[in-house]
């Protein structure tokens, strides 16, 4: 099987002597939907930057569909579409102009360029806004415009750096659906994220990066199945002492009305409810906390 991305022994040391990437080996198969998951500062954007030739590597080898990014630069570049973490267009430009300029950059004839712009702006619900300036778009729509722009030359590999950060839930869902459809039609997708949920919902395979090193590389399902603690957040109707505890569980009070409890899979939530009942504490609502990523890191780093 062809590899969409192959990275061997990649190193990046910035001028300030920060080792942003150390001994990174990574392969992504053609057709995969791959997550590079890690906290802020882990090295995700540096890795994406090197793959897309915006950042120079210190050492190592990177190939895109077997094209070396150094010796086969143009061929490699033609295979990639990238959605960077930061907005990088002129906010006074019109939406359609952004698309046409990008198409021109890839040498597409005008007619094809316009057809592609129409196709992807429609898919991302931006066609009606094609004559508006980028400035008038919400953060979420700007992000979607960057996705449309990255697709204008129909790359085989789409790379997105934190594509849904700062997007509201509705638009996030729509963006996820769009990416899923794109992947199903054959585009290989790599995204970086610091949301485990995003990787879980979208991706087949995942690499976890921590302090510039890949500390896990597996399929998402088996990664998720190793998690054995869930945190529940209880919103309480009455305030509680901040040093309140439930015997046998790790608890935190994030404020006087919010109790967080770590519940191992083997244990029952009933035990938590029992203690709360005994103390006459009523629970207004309960939700599952999104912090399983932290648990993963603790486990991986100590293994
Ligand atoms: P992530 O995208 O996972 O948040 P980054 O790749 O942006 O991580 O950063 C990795 C590390 O490299 C961090 O410690 C960051 O401060 C540092 N870093 C990133 N860009 C630069 C730069 N241009 N110059 C110096 N240090 C940088
Ligand atoms: Mg980043």
CATH number of the domain at 254, please. 3.30.70.1560
Q: What is the tens place of the pLDDT at every residue in 168-187?
A: 888 999 999 999 999 999 99
Ligand 1 atom 26, closest CA: 14
Q: pLDDT at position 295, please?
A: 67
125 and 274 within one domain: no
Q: pLDDT at position 10, please?
A: 98
| 220 CA to centre of ligand 2 in angstroms | 21
b/e map 34-63, b = 16+ CB within 10 Å: bbbbbeeebbbbbbbbbbbbebebeebebb
Q: pLDDT at position 197, please?
A: 83
19 and 165 within one domain: yes
Q: pLDDT at position 294, please?
A: 67
Angle of CA points 171, 130, 126, to nearest 5° = 20
Q: pLDDT at position 229, please?
A: 75
278 and 196 within one domain: no
Instruction: Using the 3D structure, point to which of 224, 241, 260 is the last residue of a domain.
Output: 224
252 and 133 within one domain: no
Provide the domain limits for residue 61.
3-224
Count structural domains, the chain.
Answer: 2
> Which residue among 13, 41, 48, 297 has the greatest number of ligand 1 atoms within 8 angstroms of its CB, and so is best to mutate?
41
Residues of the chain with pLDDT under 70: 242, 290-295, 298-299, 302-303
171 and 200 within one domain: yes
Q: pLDDT at position 248, please?
A: 76
119 and 36 within one domain: yes
Looking from the CA of residue 47, the nearest atom of ligand 1 is: 6
Here the tokens at position 23 are 């001994």
Instruction: Using the 3D structure, point to which of 224, 245, 272 is the last residue of a domain.
Output: 224
Here the tokens at position 220 are 């998402």
- In this prediction the pTM is 0.82
Q: pLDDT at position 167, please?
A: 86
CATH of the domain at 216: 3.40.50.300
As a whole number of Å, the end-to-end CA separation of the chain is 31
């Amino acid at each position: 099987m062809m590899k969409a991305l192959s990275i061997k022994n990649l190193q990046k040391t910035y001028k300030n002597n920060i080792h942003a990437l150390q001994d990174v080996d990574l392969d992504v198969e053609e057709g995969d939907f791959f997550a590079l998951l890690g906290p802020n500062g882990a090295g995700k954007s540096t890795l994406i930057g090197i793959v897309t030739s915006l950042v120079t590597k210190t050492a190592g080898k990177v190939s895109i569909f077997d094209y070396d990014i150094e010796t086969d630069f143009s061929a490699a570049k033609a295979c990639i579409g990238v959605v960077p973490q930061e907005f990088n267009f002129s906010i006074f430009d019109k939406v359609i102009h952004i698309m046409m300029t990008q198409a021109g950059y890839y040498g597409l004839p005008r007619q094809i360029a316009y057809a592609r712009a129409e196709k992807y702006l429609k898919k991302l619900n931006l066609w009606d806004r094609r004559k508006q300036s980028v400035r008038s778009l919400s953060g979420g729509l700007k992000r979607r415009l960057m996705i449309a722009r990255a697709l204008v030359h129909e790359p085989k590999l789409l790379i997105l750096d934190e594509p849904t950060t700062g997007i509201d839930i509705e638009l996030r869902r729509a963006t996820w659906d769009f990416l899923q459809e794109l992947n199903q039609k054959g585009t290989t997708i790599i995204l970086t994220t610091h949301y485990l949920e995003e990787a879980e919902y979208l991706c087949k395979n995942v690499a976890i990066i921590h302090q510039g090193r890949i500390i896990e590389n597996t399929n998402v399902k088996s990664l998720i199945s190793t998690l054995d603690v869930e945190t529940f957040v209880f919103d309480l109707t009455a305030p509680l002492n901040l040093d309140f505890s439930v015997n046998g569980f790790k608890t935190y009070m994030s404020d006087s009305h919010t109790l967080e409890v770590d519940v191992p899979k083997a244990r029952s939530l009933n035990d938590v409810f029992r203690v709360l009942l005994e103390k006459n504490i009523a629970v207004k609502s309960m939700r599952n906390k999104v912090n399983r990523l932290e648990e993963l890191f603790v486990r991986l780093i100590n293994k």
